[in-house]
Structure 1
């Protein structure tokens, strides 16, 4: 049982939907909260089906910005309590002894509207006494060390955020992985890093889930990193069985491997020779895919690990070029992986952006 929160900066394009699908398959969250989806509620049904969730609730965008969405599993007992352009508040296991709350938060981007966000958190705090978890893009720093590069944030704004959390008895859950969840690079090579996305909870929620971790994930399709809230630890997915990948046809090595096997002389009847060559092709293609073409999912996983390290170094002003190069390589691998998943679904499960 985990919760994924992400300011995805728009679900109307294929790479973002694909990367979201990767996160859902790898982490298997029970609940996904998205901010700045930039879509009307009518589009969410197809995305819900694409991600194989049972339910969803959307808050449509206003004009050209905003929009929130919540997806949850079919067998997950969740009830919507309230929502706005800045939040979706739900109760899990309502009416039972193990009931608790989750609020997906999207803090106002404009400084002069931040007080409305703080007032909203106060209002939500007064509604229930249930164990309470909040997660999302608060668009605010708690302390000065949560920013690297650029101008310092005004102390008064950070102090007000801390006061709101204290008054509502909300504790920051910390993080595993990178500290910073948002970054921006400038043409002159400079970069700014901030920790805008986080999870906070009441003490009685921590009593419910004392082993909770909040992990920062790396991504390339948004300037915000997703956060994964893990009440009971990490989930390891089993590997898929080997199969012929359509994307291999785009690489000359696949053709050469098949020709090499097929040109060999094999004794026996014609049918036995065909079966023998097919088996040999499979064996050789497995070796070739590992040694020459490489497994895209494995390479993507390794590149993401390198990207996390490079992101931390770039946040300290080191090897920014390496960080940008790795982001580009991850994007290329995501495009290759998309073709793999289109083949495996037999129905081209990715929805078209636009």
Structure 2
């Protein structure tokens, strides 16, 4: 899907497209973000009144659903210079579905404007559920859903549990995930006399698992609200370019399953029995070499075994060979072993607690890993001068500067001595308990109480390593 990574979609309920403020803001958004596609809703006017405006800023219509007075209306346009092929597959007054293609890469997209009437929205959800049954491809939806999913999606007003449940059922039925969002928590605001009395997250991006796995860096940015009571959304298929440094060491639980790794740990540990840090560093260095020279890349090994199996099976279609039949069984056994190691890899990275390892949930673990990474990623920071930055190098430098300043700041000169009688005192028994040497059994109990696949320590080793060896 690399051919589609540069695609961006700007989605905005504009609440009237003809007035001067709307056009100024549209022109500014196009100039600043240069989106590949733009979908705007509640247009209030026929498209032909702004056809010259769109031509002047180099955007051409893909599909137009005209508004009924001040109700509805969806305009879908794309940048004139783009070489992406688009095909409209479905449309009605509340959504436009289309495919985008460049070379062999393709994606199914839907731009949606759900009815403000809550009694009409379940009809749209059911319609989209039926549509999902015919989609066997990466699929994303973006737009104004006119519905909240969680109580935290709004501030003020009454949260409607039954309507949220209907929306949630629609997402589950279509296997849709809520895309990572940055830039703001809410996308719609209602003011009264200049005072904000109600805020909700009505606009969002959703995607099925297939789309999320093909575009793991994608995220939705909530842009600044300057004209409508809705914030514009900008979906970036490929995310932002990242400046990657040297990857830190991370222990891979799948190494445990290899017959030679236990002896590697023992041989690395023996010369340094009296220095744990030195022993761990030795294990770390030898593990890196072991991974490169012996264990190898799981995905490349899986592909290699698949190709060998295919070749042997093609040969056995022409020639009877006991030797090749035995080899086929050995390769199938090795392939299943690699699948087990792959499942262990994604289980470790997903850090899921409730699902049981061994249930062949590799795709689920992979998806959870992608979602967790996106949730934990910092997409922007406010600089000391007050401006916001998205640049990867700047984000890394600012984070480093912040913690350097935080941990090296000089201490104040306040008197930190306690006045006798103003604080609780510890008992003699408590003092003895704190100063008693730690026993081997205490360490053993503490270690066994830890989750084996949770986040590693600063040395890169997960708890499973210490439990195993």
TM bin (shorter chain): 0.5 to 0.7
How big is each residue's C-alpha offset from its partner over 1:231-260, in whole Å with a ceiling of 9 and x where there is no partner? 12349xxxxxxxxxxxxxxxxxxxxxxxxx
Q: What's 2:87 paired with?
A: 79
Cα 1:115–1:176, aligned 2, differ >3 Å: closer, same or farther?
A: same
Q: What's 2:467 paired with?
A: none
Looking at structure 1, the residues matched to 201 and 225 of structure 2 have their Cα atoms a distance apart, in angstroms, of 15
Q: What's 2:13 paired with?
A: 7
Cα 1:69–1:172, aligned 2, differ >3 Å: closer, same or farther?
A: same
Looking at structure 1, the residues matched to 115 and 182 of structure 2 have their Cα atoms a distance apart, in angstroms, of 25
Q: 2:66 aligns with which of 41, 60, 66?
A: 60
Looking at structure 2, the residues matched to 163 and 90 of structure 1 have their Cα atoms a distance apart, in angstroms, of 24
Q: 1:89 aligns with which of 97, 101, 104?
A: 97
Cα 1:15–1:304, aligned 2, differ >3 Å: closer, same or farther?
A: farther
Q: Which moved more, 1:118-127 or 1:14-23?
A: 118-127
1:35 aligns with 2:20: no
Q: CA RMSD in A?
A: 2.1
Q: What's 2:167 paired with?
A: 161
Secondary structure of 1:99's counterpart equals: strand
Q: In the TM superposition, what is the alpha-carbon distance from 1:17 to its structure 2 partner?
A: 1.2
2:43–2:70: 8 Å Cα contact kept in structure 1? no
1:44–1:58: 8 Å Cα contact kept in structure 2? no
Q: In the TM superposition, what is the alpha-carbon distance from 1:45 to its structure 2 partner?
A: 2.3
2:72–2:93: 8 Å Cα contact kept in structure 1? yes
Q: What's 1:145 paired with?
A: 152
2:91–2:97: 8 Å Cα contact kept in structure 1? yes
2:100–2:106: 8 Å Cα contact kept in structure 1? yes
1:48–1:56: 8 Å Cα contact kept in structure 2? no
Q: 2:176 aligns with which of 170, 178, 183?
A: 170
How does the TM-score come out when normalised to structure 2?
A: 0.48
Q: In the TM superposition, what is the alpha-carbon distance from 1:77 to its structure 2 partner?
A: 1.2
How does the TM-score come out when normalised to structure 1?
A: 0.63
Q: What's 2:112 paired with?
A: 105
Q: 1:196 aligns with which of 192, 202, 208?
A: 202
Larger gyration radius, structure 1 or structure 2: 2
Task: Give structure 1 stretches of 5+ with no counterpart.
Answer: 236-301, 306-354
Q: What's 1:286 paired with?
A: none
Looking at structure 2, the residues matched to 304 and 221 of structure 1 have their Cα atoms a distance apart, in angstroms, of 21
| Larger relative contact order (Cα-Cα within 8 Å, sequence gap ≥ 6) | 1
Q: In the TM superposition, what is the alpha-carbon distance from 1:303 to its structure 2 partner?
A: 9.3
Secondary structure of 2:75's counterpart equals: strand
Secondary structure of 1:159's counterpart equals: helix
Looking at structure 2, the residues matched to 16 and 303 of structure 1 have their Cα atoms a distance apart, in angstroms, of 27
Q: What's 1:126 paired with?
A: 133
2:122–2:166: 8 Å Cα contact kept in structure 1? no
Q: In the TM superposition, what is the alpha-carbon distance from 1:41 to its structure 2 partner?
A: 3.1
Instruction: Tell me the number of residue pairs that the alignment of Structure 1 and Structure 2 aligns.
Output: 238
Q: 1:223 aligns with which of 207, 212, 229?
A: 229
Q: What's 2:57 paired with?
A: 51
Secondary structure of 1:25's counterpart equals: helix
Q: 1:210 aligns with which of 179, 194, 216?
A: 216
How big is each residue's C-alpha offset from its partner over 1:175-231, in whole Å with a ceiling of 9 and x where there is no partner? 111010000111383521100000000111112211101100012210000111011
Looking at structure 1, the residues matched to 39 and 238 of structure 2 have their Cα atoms a distance apart, in angstroms, of 19
Q: 1:26 aligns with which of 29, 32, 38?
A: 32
Looking at structure 1, the residues matched to 101 and 86 of structure 2 have their Cα atoms a distance apart, in angstroms, of 6
Q: In the TM superposition, what is the alpha-carbon distance from 1:123 to its structure 2 partner?
A: 2.5
